[in-house]
Structure 1
Amino acid sequence: MTDLDLLYTDVEDDLRNVVRTVLAAHCDPVAVTALYDGDRSLVESLWKNIAVDLGLAGLLVPEDRGGAGASAREAAVVLEELGRFAAPVPFLTSAVVATTVLLDTDGPLLGQVAAGERTAALVTPLSMSAHGAFPTVSLGPDGLTGRITSVAGALEADVLLVPVSVADVIAVYAVSAEHADITPVISLDMTRQLADITFDAVAGEQIVSDGESSVRRALEAGTALLASEQYGVARWCLDETVAYLKERRQFGRVVGGFQAIKHRLADLYTAVESANAAARYAAAALAADDADTLVAASVAQAFCGDLAVLAGEEAVQLHGGMGMTWEHPAHLYLKRAKADQIAFGTGGVHRSRLADLLDIPGPR
């Protein structure tokens, strides 16, 4: 294990400012809420702002392959801001998870995804952890056949990266999204809507012949970096709640001045700061390919997933009756936090994994 610097660099701070400025201009909470009424017009335009205008679709892609040549640290900063705005873009699913698989390929698809010309999605359930058995489809004489449910990012994808059982190995095939039957699922978090995907004798191109390690590495990257999004969600909930309680008056006093409220906010603040440290360590370890990456990712996910939900609950409750309304954006963050809590494995799954990684004996 190496010493990892968890402090934000000047480059990362500049990147954060740019992303925040774009999101503030283009990701209005009213437009995000409209997704729950079926209006997804914001998704395509906002993704163009992020992927093409800012060039962030290729953030993790080396420069000699058409990308920005950045690392997981920079991707984590982007995800913090996307979480802060509950932004409905497929950065995590395409620019992180799918791109990690494509880094093991030689074809033109990686460059197309990096340029924002195409968007990709790995066809695994969002709840799938990196160390569990993941579903595959079969390869027959007429093409790929099978069904995989609860896939994130598929509705925005042009190309699907499909794990396929071939003899005794798992290969990865690229399939045009228009050739698959993609059925949207009403999801708790409609800013990252899930879909069930059916393949019925569909043609595909093999891009990784022995792809199990590629898929697991991609899911591991998603696990580590999702924590940064969860931290961004929690940070928004804390900041907005504190700002509100400094202005809201009850019984002739500012509500934030009541001791019981101060204690709740203090507890939440320390937990959010701890989440920042856990998420930063996971991102830094991933960027450095550190030997502690697996442990760091599971620690971050076990802690940040539950903390983001707590922050969302506190935001709703401490905003009082207004926090319960459809018009206030607090519900967007609670839904995102609750959906993220089971993404890439629940906190319980990661705590069990930590016991194995650290050789901690179970109860006798």
Structure 2
Amino acid sequence: MKNYYRIIGTMSGTSLDGLDMALATFERENPESAWSFSIEKTQTVPYSKELKEALKHAISYSSDQIIRLDWQLGEFMAMAIQRFKYGVGPVDFVASHGHTIFHQPDKGVTLQIGSAQKIQVITGLPVVNNFRQADVKAGGQGAPLVPIGDRDLFGDFDSALNLGGIANISFDYQGQRIAYDICPFNMALNELASQLGHEFDYAGRMAASGTVNSSLLERLNQIEYLKKPWPKSLGLEDYRAFWKPELDHSDVRIEDKLATCVIHAVEQIGAALNQFDKKRVLITGGGTYNRHFIESLQQYCSNCEIVIPEKTVIEFKEALVFAYLGLLRVEGQPNCLASVTGARNDVLGGDLIGF
């Protein structure tokens, strides 16, 4: 056990923006005190067009193709980390989320690729990875994992909302940390924007130019997942099975679909904030830059104080938290909360490579 760590945390999310890396320092006065953190360096390395396409379609790959992609992505990550750590001084280890290919916890399946062996060999650093598997084996959803970091590192806020490919929320309820995936976010918005020739809807301007279609909005709001109690989580396969068909079968303009998806997310997220009376909300993730969504959410939740932090936290909070999850794993402390995932007990998740 130590009172000081320097850890590189990495995250690759469903938005497929690239590999997020954060070098974080964690300190405490003694083993009984809380950890404080600082972020020393950050970087996002975009995926090549070929790698991005492979990750997008990997859900339908054969086992041999997935094995090859695991090594290919691991090499990409390793080289990115190797360049990132140049000149930064000693680093204790890497905590890598990898990239999720399958997430079907009800079937006991979750898979994150990006070979930790490749990362360890190329960088020379020990690696913690495969954070979700132990929780799924304990009967949990294996997601979300960030809430323990929300609780321990960002406890000044009533709730934490992350707007990545999927929108998820984390908050304290009846003495326990609760969190769950609410609905697709950039996963849907980016796909619609791509149909108009854009990678994403800058500041939500295209959505703001559209008109909400009440019929499509009603169908989206009736998707069965939304009525399920927590613990619950979403994957790409859920978006493709339930949200995407409604969007594909609608004949309204793309701008109107964007406008409708934004209000769908506003209503689902707003319902959670209002139901649990969360007044001070920290918002992070790429969706924070969707000004149209933020303004619409503030209007919908007029009693909430929406807090948008500095850019580094907006973009790299998840990488930071995975560094923290790695720290807890190395310290032998549970890093996945049963109150969040529905597992039989709190779990110590993550494989240790090269320690």
Q: Same-fold call, TM > 0.5? A: no
TM-score by length of 2: 0.25
| Greater share of residues in strand | 2
TM-score normalised to structure 1 length: 0.24
Higher RCO, Cα 8 Å, sep 6+: 2
Q: Structure 1 or 2: larger helix share?
A: 1
